[in-house]
Amino acid sequence: MTVTLLGSASLLDRQSGRRGDAAYLCALAADPAARFLIMAGHTPLIAADPSGLWFSAAAIQRAAIGDAEPLFLGILPSSQAGYFALSACEASAAKLASHTDLHAPTDIRTIASSGSLPAGDVALAGLARSLFAWHESARHCGWCGAKTAMTDGGWKRRCEPCGKDTFPRLDPVVIMLVTDGESCILAHEPRYKPGMFSCPAGYIEPGEDIAHAVRREIHEELGLTVTDVAITSSQPWPFPHSLMIGCTAICLPGPLNIDPAEIVEARWFTRGEATQLVAGTHPDGVWIPGPQAIAHHLIRAFAEPA
């Protein structure tokens, strides 16, 4: 079984400078080489044959999915073929299933952790999920309330009455491995499955930098003071449209003071225990997210320093 960090959609050249060129996008979509990913709600449809996520224009026309303007994901550099995303209603998804053998609908987290699709495809399904979620949230203009229209291959929405443009939203989040040098602190949040512990995390707010957000979140959630914040890594996280920014920080001595609204339990794990968590062999049965999540890599880097 291969598993993958839910990573960057780097398979495609996004051609961001040509998103405003409607004729170019039309020609790409009309080319028989074009391929379409289909989201039914939050879940991509997956063909049982090796084509996986990617449907031809013929297939989507048979399912009557292709009426809406597709989101432009980019072109495949090797073939210059256009890759797009469409959203299917239940009826269209059923129609597609009637003439194509589909896998059972599976959410993106499960697809990522199962390794059933190539990493680059999972990332593109995540990109499509983030864009569609943003479109849902931006159907009306925040300034004036009028209906907005999708443009630029789905990378912009325009309000004709007031002339405002809005762009895809991306929420930066800090997620941090806090250590006292010997142990790291992990938390169990109310929404987690039983036994799961992970790195504390929280949205970055206006008026703060990344280090400030790390210090604030750790102080609010755990009552601890941290220093020496370092930014180590990042990951797009399409639930619905976050950018996870992985950090490390050093904890100063002091008592734990948990915010019960955010954290059920926080626990220090030694480096040896962290190694067990990464291997899935902790004797208490506690466990951490899999390698599709940046938390796994932060904990692994602590367990196995370079």
> Please, what is the minimum distance in Å from the beta carbon of residue 291 to its own copies?
15
Q: φ, ψ for residue 175 (rounded to 5)? A: -135, 130
Of 245, 253, 208, 255, the closest CA to residue 227 belongs to 253
When binding is defined by CB under 8 A, the residue of 3, 231, 250, 258 that contacts its own copies is: 231
Of 20, 13, 61, 22, the closest CA to residue 38 belongs to 61
**CA-CA-CA-CA dihedral for 107, 109, 196, 213, to nearest 10:** -120
* Of 55-63, 144-152, 177-185, 275-283: span binding its own copies (CB under 8 A): 144-152
Give 233 or 275: the residue with its C-beta nearer to its own copies.
233
When binding is defined by CB under 8 A, the residue of 206, 255, 285, 305 that contacts its own copies is: 206
> Please, what is the minimum distance in Å from the beta carbon of residue 156 to its own copies?
12
DSSP, residue by residue, 21-72: -HHHHHHHHHSTT-EEEEEETTEE--BSSTTTT-B-HHHHHHTT-TTSPPEE
- As a whole number of angstroms, the distance between CA 49 and CA 117 comes to 12
Of 60, 63, 69, the closest CA to residue 37 belongs to 60
- Residue 172 in the binding site for its own copies (CB under 8 A): yes
When binding is defined by CB under 8 A, the residue of 95, 156, 216, 267 that contacts its own copies is: 216
- Residue 176 in the binding site for its own copies (CB under 8 A): no
- Residue 210 in the binding site for its own copies (CB under 8 A): yes
- Residue 241 in the binding site for its own copies (CB under 8 A): yes
> Please, what is the minimum distance in Å from the beta carbon of residue 243 to its own copies?
6
Q: φ, ψ for residue 156 (rounded to 5)? A: -155, 150
- Please report, as ranges, the residues that interact with its own copies according to CB under 8 A: 7-10, 14, 16-17, 123-124, 126-127, 130-131, 134, 136-147, 164, 166-172, 203-212, 216, 220, 231-236, 238, 241, 243, 245, 259, 261
